[in-house]
A = this chain, B = another copy of it.
Amino acid sequence: MRSPQPLHAELLRLLRDEGALSRAELGDRLEVSRRRLLAELERLIATGYAAEAGVATSRGGRRSTLVELNPDLRFAAIDLGVTSIDVAVTNGRLEQVAAYQESADLRSGPQAILRRVDELLAKARAEGAYEQLTAVGIGVPGPVSFRDGVPVSPPIMPGWDRFPVREYLSREHGCPAVVDNDANIMAVGERQAGAAHSVDDFLFVKIGTGIGCGIYQEGNVYRGKDGCAGDIGHIQVDAQGPVCSCGNVGCLEALFSGAALAREATAAAGSRRSPVLAERLTASGTVTAKDVAEGASEGDATCIQLIREGGRHVGGVLAGQVSFANPSMIVIGGGLAQLGHILLAEIRSVVYQRSLPLATRNLPVVLSELGPRAGVTGAAVLASDLAFEQAS
């Protein structure tokens, strides 16, 4: 059983999610004696986590003074993709004060990639975004030992196995750091500010270069014994399917992901099954998931079929997870969520048909609301949660 939040963490989270509150309002929200609340607030102000914020509107009795998070709190949020780096710096309320996005090749290894992250953060500091970071949160596209703060045997991140990412960031920036799987941070983001706002039990399915799943259960990310729960990309879909990056055969991710879709789209372009894709291939030399999305929106039958086939594979795996976990909602995100409603309709159709009726009679399957911002949003939430828990 999880232990309940310590008071200081609960208090700081309230100020993060709701902004300045009066001492009286805080007293109403938190089941704690007034004396203990005031003492805790004094301590948090003295240690630089909270700050006075003027006088509240009177509620009749004594005037109550407002408290807010220290305006100087800063969280760094990093979302590493296989081909991209996203870095954001937020204030205590998780509002972005700086953000950078650029292409990168994760396979160039942890040293090179994390050095680039450091450079982007140094740039943010030089531009006045922060003086000192309070905490750093980072998501990576592979299995993570959450306890140890390291990637473990990540199939699409060669060179990153057991690299001490948390230790590196913590030492480099002189603050606590938290490392998680990319699907988990996106799930955290969607729950904080997106499609799953305040939903306690849901699955966030990230479909990008790889496929992963963030699992919320009873209001918390469920990580399993080793911290790698949700690794649905390597569930076998077709025993006669293509070989996957993990070495097994016919994994979901080998059949439908950014790379798989580009491969199939290129084949469709080459064989002239799809005039739209053939045109793109001729024009730019490659075809990508984006071209398939655009081809589908123009009514190209092959593009639509490629998306439907992918949706059927994803839906088949999700039907199993719905039967297993009986969630309240499924959110579809990641780069391939741009395939939109054709993909969604196919996933829904398979899940509704194949899962237990009791589990699907009220099960929304929706697209991510935060899109490409889900990752950094969640990484900032995790960084702030960590900082607030340690604020004792």
Contacts and interface: CB of A to CB of B under 8 A. Distances in A.
B220 A1 contact: yes
A357 interface: yes
Contact of A358 (B153, B324, B358): B153
A74 interface: no
Interface residues of A, number: 49
Interface string A323-344: 1111110000000000000000
Interface in A243-267: 246, 248
A163 interface: no
B323 A359 contact: no
Count identical subunits in the complex: 2
Contact of A316 (B231, B236, B357): B236
A223 B356 contact: no
Given A2-B2, A218-B2, A231-B324, A354 B226 contact: no
A225 to B, nearest CB: 5
Interface string A204-236: 000000000101011110111111111110111
Contacts of A226: 326, 358-359, 361
Interface in A186-209: 201
A232 B324 contact: yes
A1 B327 CA distance: 16
B320 A356 contact: no
Nearest to A252: B320
A183 B222 CA distance: 21
Given A225-B359, A324-B324, 9 more contacts: A1-B219, A1-B220, A143-B358, A201-B225, A225-B326, A226-B358, A226-B361, A230-B326, A248-B353
9 contacts: A1-B4, A1-B220, A145-B358, A201-B225, A213-B324, A225-B326, A228-B356, A231-B326, A235-B319
